[in-house]
């Protein structure tokens, strides 16, 4: 198992339902009344054509409001394959050296950056300077300083910067947030987030400090960091953390294996979370309040997400997360829609500041105030 994405895929493979259009029909899908969608369509160039990019691309076949218009890759064979599958013209194909020329291409509105974490900073800023809106996979950067530089660069270029927080659009997650906002759980007191799996290939980029920016925390732990914020609806004011490393060869200096971290919030609520590359079957969020509770298990896999509260099971039709994400992001970029849970660059910087503090707390062995 080479990555978190492969782990999540295998964990929920028997449950996945992904709505695909056949390869021969790449026109905009029809609406519920079989009338073709006539609104604006976000034309996206995918940068980095690895496993997750393929998942995003296949899910986008079902999108009405977003379509694949271009690619950026350093592997010519991948570009040829994608051209065949998605009917991408030669003029919309770029490599990492020349994609700045996208500034002269009016057929591309946005670039979706799906490259290793350590490359996001450069790729996002260059795409912004090329005049394109940017969607960047999480973590948006390897630290808060670089993240803020990316936000500033996109503002300067007058383009939007969004982050691939697909769970911010997931129906069961949003229902729990609705219930919390409505006071159905009473005063919320505690959140638990468990995020982890046993990582495979020791030579992969996710175990390379320079490319990954860290280890499990940057790859899978960020789900609990982000999740505690949207589940509790607050920003933490302190964190503590402790790192455990059982294999210092596989997990070199700067590449975390397992970190337990806690956070405190202004309301008095607390969070207790685990991020690991050394334990399987960890994908659970739990929230409890004075009047009720909510649980998602799995909480962040590719789906279906399974959820329940003190009032019973949560039941919503499963649609591929990436399909919903890209439909919503099209509306955010083209129509100015405001999502229930933000997915902008500023939101990502908040996560990165917390991750920076968690690493500091683990290193110094003391509580870090935020």
The verdict on whether 302 is a catalytic residue reads no
CA angle 279, 140, 242 (to 5 degrees): 40
Q: Is 252 helix (H, G, I), strand (E, B) or coil?
A: coil
- Contact in structure between 201 and 51 (CB atoms under 8 Å): no
14 CB neighbour count, 10 Å cutoff: 6
Annotated active-site residue in 64, 138, 350, 353:
138
The verdict on whether 172 is a catalytic residue reads no
Q: Length of the chain in residues, anyone?
A: 370
For the chain, the helix, strand and coil percentages under 3-state DSSP, each to the nearest 5: 35, 20, 40
Q: Is 248 helix (H, G, I), strand (E, B) or coil?
A: coil
Cβ neighbours of residue 207 under 8 Å, at least 6 residues apart? Answer: 199, 215, 250, 251, 252, 255
Annotated active-site residue in 112, 165, 223, 359:
223
Closest to 233 (Cα-Cα) out of 182, 174, 177, 296: 177
- Contact in structure between 41 and 28 (CB atoms under 8 Å): yes
> How many angstroms separate the CA atoms of 217 and 176, rounded?
25
Q: Is 190 helix (H, G, I), strand (E, B) or coil?
A: strand
Which residues are known to be catalytic? Answer: 138, 223
């Amino acid at each position: 198992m080479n990555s978190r994405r492969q782990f999540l895929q295998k964990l929920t493979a028997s449950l996945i339902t992904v709505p695909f259009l056949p390869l021969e029909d790449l026109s905009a899908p029809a609406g519920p009344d079989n009338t073709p969608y006539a609104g604006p369509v976000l034309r996206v160039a995918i940068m980095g054509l690895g496993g997750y990019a393929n998942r995003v691309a296949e899910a986008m076949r079902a999108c009405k409001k977003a379509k694949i218009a271009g690619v950026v890759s350093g592997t010519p064979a991948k570009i040829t394959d994608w051209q065949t599958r998605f009917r991408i013209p030669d003029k919309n194909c770029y490599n990492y050296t020349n994609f700045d020329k996208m500034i002269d291409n009016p057929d591309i509105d946005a670039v979706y950056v799906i490259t290793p974490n350590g490359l996001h900073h450069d790729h996002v800023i260059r795409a912004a300077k090329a005049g394109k809106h940017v969607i960047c996979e999480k973590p948006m950067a390897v630290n808060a300083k670089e993240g803020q530089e990316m936000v500033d660069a996109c503002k300067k270029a007058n383009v939007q910067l969004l982050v691939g927080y697909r769970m911010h659009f997931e129906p069961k997650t949003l229902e729990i947030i609705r219930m919390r906002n409505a006071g159905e759980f009473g005063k919320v007191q505690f959140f638990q987030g468990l995020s982890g799996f046993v990582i495979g290939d020791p030579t992969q980029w996710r175990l390379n400090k320079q490319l990954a920016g860290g280890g499990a925390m940057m790859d899978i732990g960020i789900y609990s960091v982000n999740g505690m914020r949207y589940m509790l609806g607050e920003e933490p004011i302190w964190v503590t953390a402790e790192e455990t490393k059982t294999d210092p060869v596989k997990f070199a200096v700067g590449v975390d294996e397992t970190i337990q971290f806690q956070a405190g919030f202004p309301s008095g609520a607390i969070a207790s979370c685990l991020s690991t590359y050394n334990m399987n079957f960890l994908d659970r969020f739990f929230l409890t309040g004075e009047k009720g509770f909510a649980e998602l298990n799995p909480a962040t896999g590719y789906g279906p997400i399974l959820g329940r509260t003190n009032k019973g099971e949560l039941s919503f039709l499963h649609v591929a997360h990436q399909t919903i994400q890209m439909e919503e992001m099209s509306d955010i970029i083209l129509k100015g829609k405001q999502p229930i849970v933000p997915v902008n660059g500023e939101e990502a910087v908040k996560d990165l500041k917390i991750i920076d503090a968690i690493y500091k707390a683990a290193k110094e062995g003391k509580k870090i105030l935020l």
